[in-house]
Amino acid sequence: EVQLVESGGGLVQPGGSLRLSCAASGFTFSIYWMAWVRQAPGKGLEWVANINQHGNEKYYVDSVKGRFTISRDNARNSLYLQINSLRAEDTAVYYCARDPGIGNDCWGQGTLVTVSS
């Protein structure tokens, strides 16, 4: 069974940092692009970033460029999102998703990041 499990969310002050993790199982992690997608409370989905199989090609939504960094460790079947200089508008559930290039076909349950003083 394909499974994605996010962790690392929490309450953080504006300007703070967090590192989100996603543990993948049930499929060959190293052959897939992977992505982070977020959803602010009561709002729609917003794609955040994706990364290729080798970790050397990455894309980001404009609003997070320079603040967020996506990375992966294929040996650990894990995806990461380092989020710095957090703003109130970054408050959201962050989903890890598989990205085979046709749409996100597998999703985790999400981890909540709340930015507040």
Residues of this chain that interact with other proteins (CB under 8 A) are 35, 37, 44-47, 50, 59-63, 95, 99, 101-110
Choice between 72 and 98, CB closer to other proteins: 98
Closest alpha carbon to 108 in 15, 34, 19: 34
CB of 77 to other proteins, least distance (A): 19
Q: Which is nearer to other proteins, 66 or 101 (CB)?
A: 101
What is the closest distance, in whole angstroms, from the C-beta atom of residue 99 to other proteins in the complex? 8
User: Which of residues 73 and 105 has its CB atom nearest to other proteins in the complex?
Assistant: 105
CB of 13 to other proteins, least distance (A): 27
Residues 6+ apart with CB under 8 A from 88: 14, 115, 116
